[in-house]
Amino acid sequence: MTLTHRLYSCLLVLAMIALAAPKAIAESPLLTLTGAVDGGQVEILRSDLDALEWHEIATSTTVTDGRPLFRGVLMRDILALAGARGETVTARALNDYVIDIPVSDFHEFDVIAALYMDGTALTPRDKGPIWIVYPRDDHRVLADIRYDTRWVWQLVALHVQ
Amino acid sequence: MMRLTRPLRYGGLAALILACIGLLTVAAVNIVRIERQMQISATENMTWIFGQTQIEALNLAAALSSDADPAEVQLRFDLLVSRLNLLRDGPQWRFLSEAGLAEGLMGWRDGLLALDPAEGGDRAALAAHVAALSTALRGKASRVMSREWQIQSERLDSLGRLHLLALATVLGALISGTVLAALLIDRERRLIRSTMDQLRAKQLERDLDQERRTSEGYRRFSDLIAHQVRTPLAVIDSAMHRLTRPGNPPSPEIIRAKAEVSREAVARLVRLTDTALLMARVDRGAVEPDLACHDLDRIAAAAIEDLHESARALKTGRVILGSGNRPVTAICDPVLTGEILANLLRNAFLYSPPGSDIDVRPMQDGELAVCDISDRGPGMTPEELAVAFEDFARGARHRDLPGSGLGLPLARHLARLQDGDVTLAPRAGGGLVARLILPGAVTT
């Protein structure tokens, strides 16, 4: 476990070094927060996420087999980073999938904004760049269609209100 | 018959209880299974997923035909690929395979990737490919929906079956529970009835016993009357006969002697009647003791005086009242206590040899007031002592002595009415000690 853990960390560092030079000039935002956030709009860059604490969740999902290992940052950490003040987050995906998520979800459960699944970076051709992942196997209540619809993939924007 | 039906009945009850528990368990298992099946999984949202793929194909086709900028085309391309990738994932792929809709889908995907605009794919060829893909997807969409509804209906059927099964088992449990309850109520009713029968039988037995004792009492009573009434009557008859005999008229001494004998016989008859009457009153509970503190010495002295008066002619000896230094106070009815002492004293006189002494000793014994009457007669054998307090039980040796056979039982009855008792014990040195025990009062 610790070995794979370290391997992931090494890969991550290597990726960061490789990506840092060309992307430093015009790094496009991964996620845009609007509404009740600092200054009305906050753009989250990859480097902002790298500065946060990363977490892992191994959980079953409704659209894959097995229990993939997801890696990302806590949703509540992202909201705190943007200074979000509100009770509901309207999440929007690349394909304009829109859903309201109560902010309380992020405090009750360790919901992460996953950037990696089984060590592979998520891309728009899969469910990336960001997939909201709930710790479904750790809480029985989460195994429910009402929570399943909040697993937004290809997440690009959050509107806080 | 009973031995056979009992295990049968218990077996039936046990079977019913087991049936109840078994049926309820089955019902519970079914309800749990229903609960498990009632979760909706996102895989059942295939119509939506498939629809989204279709939309992305149309979006890409639109972007390609409207000459949109390459970034927009790339985004739409990526999104369509992501939807096709989603269809390729485990649960979705299984759904499509089972529905026979998976075939060819991945070929479309590979064709698409080969025309990736990011890698310089031909835009016109891509447009043609996407248009064909859209048509292919449209053809499958309705079948995806129909398949999904089929699965849903099958699941509802299964839920319905489980539900019916649970309902049937609960109904079965209800029926066996009702039968069980009816059986138990029936048993309870029978139990109560048999208890009542037993009580009634016991009551009847008691009544019969009482009746037997009463009739035995009557028999002894008639025996007694036959004997004890005839003797004084014979004495009187003999005296009268002597006084009226023809020939020499009797001398005044003889007349007085015969009159005295006759009076004594009459007195015996009166006493006999009085005792029998009092006993009858005690028997039917008509005697109410009037309890108060009384000096037992004084009651004993009065009883001795009465006895001396009525039995002067006996001249059998003297009664010595041995009073202690302290007065003996008893909680008693003085009339009833006097009657007891008179009875005990008469017995002592009756069985004492002529001229012997009779001791009467009232004394305090702890919280009790006691009066011992000791004679120097022949005493009683253990067998006689054992039955001495039964009605009309007279020692065989003393059958010819005057007496009702009711004296001792009456004395004991009267003592017990006052929360006391009468006991008999052999006297050291010969004779009998009759002891009256009464609740004492601590003198102040």
pLDDT in tens, B421-441: 999 988 888 888 999 999 987
Alpha-carbon distance of B261 to B243, in angstroms, equals 12
Beta-strand relationship, B319-321 and A88-93: unpaired
Cβ contacts of A92 on chain B, cutoff 8 Å: none
Give the residue carrying structure tokens 């006969």: B241
Res A11 pLDDT > 80: no
Element (H, E) at A49: helix A46-51
pLDDT tens digits, one per residue of B235-276: 899 888 888 888 778 888 888 888 888 888 888 888 888 877
Average pLDDT over residues B365-373: 89
ipTM of the complex: 0.78
List, in sequence order, every residue forming a beta bridge with B150; answer none if it has no partner.
Answer: none
pLDDT single digits (tens) B398-416:
656 666 667 788 888 889 8
Number of H helices, E strands in chain A: 5, 10
Give the position of tokens 């529905």.
B99
* pLDDT tens digits, one per residue of A129-145: 899 999 999 998 888 88
Query: Cα–Cα distance between A23 and A30 in angstroms, integer?
Result: 13
Answer yes or no: do A126 and B85 touch at CB < 8 A.
yes
**pLDDT tens-place string over residues A95-124:** 888 999 999 999 999 999 999 999 999 988
User: According to the 3-state scheme, what is the secondary structure of B185-234?
Assistant: HHHHHHHHHHHHHHHHHHHHHHHHHHHHHHHHHHHHHHHHHHHHHHHHHH
List all residues of chain B from 5 to 64 with a beta carbon under 8 Å from chain A. 39-43, 52, 55-56
Nearest CB to B89: which of A63, A95, A125? A63
Q: Evaluate if residue B188 carries a pLDDT over 90.
A: yes
Q: For helices B123-224 and B90-98, what crossing angle results, to 10°?
A: 90
Per-residue model confidence (pLDDT) at position B91: 86
pLDDT band (50, 70, 90) for residue B312: low
Say what the pLDDT of residue B444 is: 47
Position A59 scores a pLDDT of: 93
Please check the confidence at residue B294 and state whether its pLDDT lies above 70. yes
Q: Cβ–Cβ of A63/B52 closer than 8 Å?
A: no
Could you identify the residue written with the tokens 């006097």? B338
List, in order of start, the domains of chain A with CATH numbers. Answer: 28-160 (3.90.420.10)
pLDDT for A25 beyond 80: no
Reported confidence tier of residue A43, pLDDT bands at 50, 70, 90: very high
Q: What is the pLDDT of residue B14?
A: 87
Contact A95 B85 (CB under 8 A): no
Average pLDDT, chain B: 84
Q: Which range has the worst mean pLDDT, B179-188, B203-212, B263-272, B384-393? A: B384-393
Q: Any residues with CB less than 8 A from the CB of B284 and at least 6 apart, and which?
A: none
Average pLDDT (A142-153) is 88
B202 exposure class (CB count in 10 Å sphere: 0-12, 13-18, 19+) = exposed
**Tokens, residue B393:** 């039980």
Per-residue pLDDT, averaged over B205-212, amounts to 93
Report residue B139's pLDDT band, with 50, 70 and 90 as the boundaries.
confident
Task: Please give the average per-residue pLDDT across B157-186, as a whole number.
Answer: 90
Any CB–CB contact under 8 A between B231 and chain A? no
Q: Which two tokens stand for residue A44?
A: 């989250």
Distance CA(B66)–CA(B73), nearest Å, equals 10
